[in-house]
Amino acid sequence: MKNILLVCSSGLSTNMFVSKLEKSAKLLNFNANIWSCNSVNFKEDVCKADVILLAPQVKYLFDDIKKIVDDDKYILLIGLSDYSCMNSKKILEDVISYLQ
């Protein structure tokens, strides 16, 4: 099982996006624990994750997160169109492709 963290700015739409990611993971037979956190409280959560998804509005955190986590952790910057359309299947396919 892979631990996947979605980091966003305030979490308003994030719970809905996490739900879509969980549904897509089931469809893709990808065993994952998916959760979210906001841009203020991310430091502890990123250390627990195998994969870190950054929403477009928090892409500025990339370098800060890279300094905190091991090099083997995958950090994916979600594109604006994929995020706004909640294209969870494509995002998980990108994650799975990287992990293989």
Which residues form the catalytic set? 8
Q: What is the pLDDT of residue 27?
A: 95
What CATH number does the domain located at 18-78 have? 3.40.50.2300
- Number of neighbouring beta carbons within 10 Å of residue 41: 10
pLDDT tens track, the chain, 100 positions: 999 999 998 766 788 899 999 999 999 999 999 999 988 888 889 999 999 999 999 999 999 999 999 888 899 999 999 999 999 999 999 999 998 8
Q: What does the domain layout of the chain look like in residue ranges?
A: 18-78
Q: Report the candidate in 23, 1, 96 with the shortest Cα–Cα distance to residue 53.
A: 96
- For 27, the token pair is 């469809």
DSSP state of 51: E
Q: What is the pLDDT of residue 38?
A: 87
